[in-house]
Structure 1
Amino acid sequence: MKRWSGRVAVVTGASAGIGAAIAEELVKKGLKVVGLARRVERVEENAKLLRSEPGKLHPLRCDVSKESNVKEAFKWVKSNLGVVDILVNNAGVCDFNNLTDGPPEKWRNIIDINVLGLSMCTREAIQSMREKAVDDGHIININRYSISPGAVKTEIAEASGVPKEILEQYKDNPIMEAKDIADSVMYVLGTPPHVQMSLGLSHVRKYDDDGDFKKL
């Protein structure tokens, strides 16, 4: 990770959960991290907690479903920090609905954020990298191509409207922490420049001293 120290990373959906954990680990590795989020106040609070770390977290309000927001955000990065070296496309939503009931506006919101938002951020990051011919830049997509985690303990299930009785059924199942996914991102970034990989993470198991499975 030493080669990334002092360089610029953009993390979308950085206000909570996986995005916040990734931003934190990158700051600890000495990077200048731009945390994009609609709830920028949360990123600002995290930035205060990370003041003593080698890197710095720069909170920036951005709704990745809006092209004007995305363009303004990357324009700010260019003007204040320089070329983007790493983009972590983490922003995403889900909703507890199905094809038989809809409604279409819920589907449209998912597509706007999870697909179009990712695409627009990727476009801006690549354009930034090309400006100064960055030859080792990384674009990491969470739960799409690069890192595809299974169940992770975040706010997304409650926010998507999953009924409490369903959540209760799975409360004792093995489930990953946001830090586990952040560690996976650090591993990917820590590999040599010629290495490209896709990680699929189902869950993390922990065992006691006797080797017996212990629930998280």
Structure 2
Amino acid sequence: MFATIKAQHKGVDVCINNAGLSLHDSLLSGTTRGWRNMLDVNVLALSICTREAYQGGHSGHPFFSFCSVLGHLVGPVNDVHFYAATKFAVTALTEGLRQELREAKSHIRATSISPGVVDTEFGYRMYSDDPSKAEALYSRHKNLSGLDVAQAVLYVLGAPPHVQIGEILLRPVEQQL
């Protein structure tokens, strides 16, 4: 994929790592298969895409890593503790990327965007065996929309080239965590 992008477009202008997966696998009863799946999608795929975009001729615009508020705190919901660990890894990887890009004198910026509850299919996929749990998640308050999150990306893109916005944490006003 990145070879094709380089051949057709001379590289990546903006890299947005937005893949995320959560399975309701707690630490005490989760499966190794489920944990590996979350690690592969949330951590390893993000790292691979970042490396390939950079090596394929990234043009200097930001790298975005989509994290989660759960990449900054561990909430009291057992179903998402392992997911939170993968998102803590995304927080650390994005800061590590920022440091490596700075050391390389690339002037490429790295930003982690950590949304709270967003109206997407995420919860329904996580709780595919019990949609009522997803309904409960989404019905607590007015959630963020995809447009709200996209506006955060546009805000970062609109910053002057010398301004590094390392982290944006956004959540619904009424969200507890």
Q: TM-score range by the shorter chain?
A: 0.5 to 0.7
Identical counterparts, % of pairs: 37
Q: CA deviation at 1:204?
A: 5.1
Would you say how many aligned residue pairs link Structure 1 and Structure 2? 129
Match of 1:103 among 28, 31, 49: 31
The Cα offsets for residues 70-105 of structure 1, whole Å up to 9 and x where unpaired, read as xxx101101112111210000111111101111110
Q: CA deviation at 1:194?
A: 1.1
SS of the counterpart of 1:176? coil
Q: How far, CA to CA, are the matches of 2:55 and 2:173 in structure 1?
A: 37
Q: Which residue of 1 aligns with 2:131?
A: 164
Match of 2:163 among 175, 187, 195: 195
Q: CA deviation at 1:166?
A: 2.5
- Residue 76 of structure 2 corresponds to residue 137 of structure 1: no
Q: For residue 98 of structure 1, what is the amino acid of its counterpart?
A: S
> Is the CA contact (8 Å cut-off) linking 1:92 and 1:113 kept in structure 2?
yes
More helix by proportion, 1 or 2? 2
Where do residues 107-118 of structure 1 align in structure 2 (5 Å cutoff)?
A: 107-118=35-46
- Residue 40 of structure 2 corresponds to residue 74 of structure 1: no
Q: For residue 186 of structure 1, what is the amino acid of its counterpart?
A: L
> Is the CA contact (8 Å cut-off) linking 2:113 and 2:169 kept in structure 1?
yes
**TM-score normalised to structure 1 length:** 0.56
SS of the counterpart of 1:129? coil
> Is the CA contact (8 Å cut-off) linking 1:129 and 1:137 kept in structure 2?
no
Q: How far, CA to CA, are the matches of 1:137 and 1:128 in structure 2?
A: 13
Match of 1:149 among 99, 115, 118: 115
Across the aligned residues of Structure 1 and Structure 2, the Cα RMSD in angstroms comes to 1.7
Q: For residue 167 of structure 1, what is the amino acid of its counterpart?
A: A
Q: How far, CA to CA, are the matches of 1:129 and 1:75 in structure 2?
A: 10
> Is the CA contact (8 Å cut-off) linking 2:119 and 2:145 kept in structure 1?
yes
Q: How far, CA to CA, are the matches of 1:87 and 1:154 in structure 2?
A: 21
If asked which structure has higher relative contact order (CA below 8 Å, sep 6+), I would say 2
> Is the CA contact (8 Å cut-off) linking 1:176 and 1:204 kept in structure 2?
no
Indicate how the Cα distance of structure 1 residues 168 and 86 shifts in structure 2: closer, same or farther if over 3 A, else same: closer
Q: How far, CA to CA, are the matches of 1:110 and 1:139 in structure 2?
A: 21
More strand by proportion, 1 or 2? 1
